[in-house]
Structure 1
């Protein structure tokens, strides 16, 4: 199993993607498939790299790719953003456009958990990295939907810091799958000494499954804070809130509703509070019908205005529905702003 990616990818010299590339990639794939099959059968990773690297780079030079054992097929082609939130939607659209899997190939936009992970051995800087010797210190911070991981392996003392971390991240991807690492793993350290109370890496999936079981149902959290100018602010956010759960929702829809009735702190009261609740109920009803295309992420109120943050698939109709709904708003001039925001930068303070 070899990993390829950004450092090997060709680009146009200025870091910009070479066009859309997704449709072109799959056209190229069908044409190159006989050659790719022959290279895999021959066990020729260098030949695969020469053929695949430019094709993946044409989609975006920042994408990382690897050929790994498949779940149902013999091989899996993985093209991933490798944690880059800006590129995650692109990787998922690449996979969504893929041909049907067959006996030889399947396709994934992120590294998948490997059921034989503990049997894997990797050459790292000339040292043997066996996953069955990996030990983990695990800590779940109080009331946090993540587990912090301190990883230790006997060879880590021989490796530089960057190589230790890269190896740790790859091991976690094999143990949990890349998306579950993004969902449930918090702070990651690669230690040169075994942490106190460390457990074998084999226990990590069970710890994460136990943590995740507490968030099976939709939850929301009420937050209080201040604006940049020091005015009181209240917010309600989905909890946990994570872009990885909605990888195709890279369109940000901000609905701004000014309200007339507010207290001394600028927060909504009385008729305005009732009107805001009614608007959000109608919005939620629309989004329920669009649940495969949009999600309400958070809303916040301050200084006489409520801003509702929705993320959506730009190929859907969520923005149209939002613009239709604000027509009925009677307290001031409402506004809907629609932008591209694959990293969910507008709601970073609420991401958990």
Structure 2
């Protein structure tokens, strides 16, 4: 009897142990499932967070940003060559992406003060190209014509006659600043026109930041010229302000978009609040920046008012989807 009791108690104890083991295993399984479920949720949350941080930029935004890359290439090469005698091929060859070397660009005869400013502006353009290529694929540098003959041709258009001797942007500081004035408003008005069309926050942030620097650069050049606006450019005997006015008019004429540009001395109706003829910055009746469309920019850059015919500063046409679309049409 004592033996049977011991055996019975043993079986009861064993049964309890097995039940506890099963219960413990179930709890463990439940705990593991809960942990795995939590990890999946955390992973999904992290993935969503990552996707929100690195949003895919719409193709339209990419095309618009890349269109502006053409202008940054143009400004970068002109400024770097003017200050150093060489451009992206030495300063940042990876950014040129093996695009053809610009034609005719060279070191300008600049006074130390002007040289310091132009060198800074050129380096800033290098940074702008890098910033753009971090956001969009970009493309190789297009072939660009920066010969003195190209600038002289624009001056002939602006004045309606050849000015003798032919204008040479690299001859001295004042000529170089006037030539820079010819180029800078293109990027400025293009950025202003681009921003309202952008769909993604990342693209808006990039172009807004580029516009901030571009407007500052344009203001620097205009201020330097404004300080000398009554100075007569040797050997033409033409005041600096007349050069700026003529170049603004020819840009408006070529773009076919109405008044999107103003020189340093204007009809008082076009000055700030319509009160004075002096015009340190270019802006509409509310002193708000002008905007240009891509086709208007190309008409100016190609120097003949036709966005479908390459020429001028881009002998083979500008690069990117938008510019090539106009050429194919």
| The structure with more radius of gyration | 2
| TM range, smaller chain | under 0.3
Q: Which structure shows the higher strand fraction?
A: 1
TM-score w.r.t. the length of structure 1 is: 0.24
Structure number with greater CO (CA < 8 Å, separation at least 6) is 2
